[in-house]
Chains A and B, each alone.
Chain A
């Protein structure tokens, strides 16, 4: 499908990676919850990509490829650390969501956000990934389908079910 414009690449993928490093760590944080693990996952992908010679495509696709690698790595981190599952909600509660500790409205806001993130962490991995790509990265259904290597129909249903589960957990009408 994709028309490739081959380029000599050594280092360009790495440069692109460096350019988006902060965003990639943030994406990973939303999936694995704590920053040190997210940093590890992203560095892991970076080191792996350096040893791989890949023909670069158009920019958007390269970024999608890097994101897909980060998502894969996060998924295997999550699988691997079933052991941390008990502490996960606990770690969420330390996310620096409270801006001040005196203003009551801030505290309430922080707690509301924490509840959303806890509910998100309880979702199956695929649904969580779709929601993060849709509502944080802002990708379209087609782009999400491509990134995750699934059909648009699956993206649609994962998003709908994910939102419905969040609404239920938060006691809202979705």
Chain B
């Protein structure tokens, strides 16, 4: 056996052994057989459904149990659809915010848009085609009457535009099945960026009338952009991966350039999110090669990795957001035994510190955060192991003192 074969055999055996026999959900009782011609004709309606439902109910009860009694003033807990996940969040004001993601229903994946009106989160209607898989990864708002949500359909990139009353789908370039958008950032009504993957990095720009493909040299199988942050017309960041290296790009108003090169390799392949704060400050977060959370700081001339508070804590930071006053948040998930648990990190003066997440007791992942002010921030994600697989969208709110779960 070669070294590679030995490593593969060992890794497969270890991964399989980690699935403890008594942790596996038991098969339905053989008696279920007599229901095989169930009139509903739906296989899960037989005997698995009650099990699955019981698991979800247990999870929801757990979420509810740890909630403080007073949520955001005047709000009741929002209930999220089954098999949902929230992947992006953006806010315009204290009474206007958006969260986007998806709902899996049977074999279909549907886009999900939630809106905050200052008192409640409610589901926003979207006109969608029934035949396609569609989902949303990111959202950005230039104003109350101008917001973008991006993701993918089974045909390629998917872009929705909010113009004050409805979300409508707009034409997109690179309409091929392998293309997907993962994030969007808006500077103004005629300047927005969307990034993703299309046999390499995908960069689209909105000029006020249409989305245009911005050709770029970063192509390849394992090359993709995950996040974009636009501070002004000539200061935009985009991050992702190129092969096993991180891909960190900056737009100076004229062209996109890649930062670093080989000397950034040690930061690992997984830079997940970026927040540009000023000309001299940008935060980049992700997961380092050693499995620990990664935080990089741009000081106007170089990127530096920040020292870690607790080097034994494995996990990843997936979203970051900052307000110009200096406060910054990063969210993600940490390893807790077999399962991920939500993480919230806060930038406090010279260090990033982990703060308690109200959803810490349930298995789940936070995917995005948006800081509106020092007293107002939203974080979204999902409770569950994996997106869409018995997951539920999660919405947390920061009121200046503590984080609370509102959905």
* A78, B222: Cα distance in complex, Å: 18
B314 contacts across to A, CB distance below 8 A: 93, 98
CB within 8 Å for A34 and B15 given contacts A43-B28, A169-B244: no
**Does residue A18 face the partner (Cβ distance < 8 Å to B)?**
yes
Across the interface, do B291 and A101 meet the contact criterion of CB distance under 8 Å? no
Report Cα–Cα, A164/B280, bound state, in Å.
44
Inter-chain CA distance A39–B48, complex, in Å, is 11
Known: A17-B27, A29-B19, A169-B244. A36 touches B386 (CB 8 A): yes
Determine chain B's interface SS by DSSP, over half rule.
Answer: mixed
**Residues in chain A near residue B388, CB distance under 8 A:** 81, 83-84
| 8 A Cβ contacts from B287-339 to A | 287, 289-291, 312, 314, 316, 318, 333, 335, 337-339
Beyond A87-B387, A90-B316, A167-B4, whether A111 also contacts B18 by CB under 8 A is: no
Interface residue count for B (Cβ, 8 Å)?
63
A47 to B43, CA, bound (A): 7
Residue B129 CB within 8 A of the other chain? no
The smallest beta-carbon distance between A34 and chain B, in angstroms, is 5
In Å, the complex CA distance between A102 and B46 comes to 46
Contact assessment for B15 and A97 in the assembled complex, using a CB-CB cutoff below 8 Å: yes
Contact call B340/A35, Cβ cutoff below 8 A: no
**Contact of A83 with B135 in the complex, beta carbons under 8 Å:** yes
B18 to A97, Cβ gap below 8 A?
yes
| Interface SS of chain A | helix
Residue in contact with B24 in the complex, picked from A22, A34, A44, A83, CB distance below 8 Å:
A22
Q: Scan A114-141; emit 1 where CB is below 8 A from any B CB, else 0.
A: 1011001010000000011001100000
- Provide the residues of chain A in CB contact with B384, threshold 8 Å: 36
| B389 and A136 within 8 A (CB) | no
Q: For residue B289, which residue of chain A has the nearest CB?
A: A111
Q: Which residue numbers of A lie inside 8 Å of B, CB to CB?
A: 11, 14, 17-18, 21-22, 25-27, 29-30, 34-40, 42-44, 46-48, 50-51, 80-84, 86-87, 89-91, 93-98, 101-102, 110-114, 116-117, 120, 122, 131-132, 135-136, 163, 166-167, 169-170, 172-174
Could you jot down 27 A-B contacts, CB within 8 Å? A21-B27, A22-B19, A27-B16, A30-B15, A35-B23, A39-B24, A43-B27, A43-B28, A48-B43, A50-B32, A51-B36, A84-B386, A87-B365, A87-B387, A90-B365, A97-B11, A97-B15, A101-B312, A102-B312, A112-B7, A113-B11, A113-B15, A114-B11, A114-B291, A117-B15, A163-B2, A170-B4
**New contact pairs (7) apart from A34-B385, A36-B385, A163-B2, CB-CB < 8 Å:** A11-B30, A34-B386, A46-B27, A84-B386, A113-B15, A116-B10, A135-B5
